[in-house]
């Protein structure tokens, strides 16, 4: 019985440690995933939006092709705190987005600015530490 209790404590400790460490390891660095030396600008139609952690995402198609651009935004909570609502863009909206493209050449980007259909420009800070404070113009 004493051995079972120790095994349970060990398993609980390992599980708890994993819960703390995994999000840290899972999060990527901007410079590791994106080419921060090159800014790409696209104009297109919003095909999909997802408002989930760790980052809100939008998909924008520029040519009605089979594949769209997946654009990573700051975390939803950080956007909400700065007055950016989940419906700031909707499927079918025409937008312009500037972003850093993924280093692997995929159609993935990390948003720097997004111009909404009404002309509002949301300027997302370029470093993760400031990503939660977009400026709107």
Domain positions in the chain:
32-136
Higher pLDDT, 31 or 56: 56
How many Å apart are CA 104 and CA 100, to the nearest integer? Answer: 12
What is this structure's pTM? 0.70
In whole angstroms, what separates CA 8 from the centre of its chain? 37
Judged by average pLDDT, the poorest of 59-68, 71-80, 97-106, 115-124 is 59-68
| Closest C-alpha to 101, from 124, 59, 70 | 70
Instruction: Using pLDDT thresholds of 50, 70 and 90, give the confidence band for residue 24.
Output: very low
Q: What is the CA radius of gyration of the chain?
A: 19
How many Å apart are CA 82 and CA 96, to the nearest integer? Answer: 20
CATH label, 32-136, candidates 2.40.50.140, 3.20.20.100, 1.10.10.10, 3.40.50.1220? 2.40.50.140
The phi and psi torsions of 88 (rounded to 5 degrees) equal -65, -25
């Amino acid at each position: 019985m004493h051995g079972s209790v120790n095994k349970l404590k060990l398993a609980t400790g390992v599980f708890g440690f994993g819960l703390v460490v995994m999000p840290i390891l899972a999060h990527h660095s901007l410079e590791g995933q994106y080419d921060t030396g090159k800014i790409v600008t696209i104009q297109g139609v919003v095909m999909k939006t997802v408002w989930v952690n760790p980052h809100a995402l939008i998909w924008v198609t520029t040519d009605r092709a089979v594949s769209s651009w997946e654009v990573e935004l700051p975390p939803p909570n950080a956007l909400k705190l700065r007055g950016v609502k989940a419906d700031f863009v909707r499927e079918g909206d025409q937008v312009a987005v500037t972003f850093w493209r993924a280093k692997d050449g995929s159609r993935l980007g990390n948003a720097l600015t997004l111009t909404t259909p009404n002309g509002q420009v949301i300027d997302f800070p370029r470093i993760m530490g400031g990503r939660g404070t977009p400026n709107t113009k």
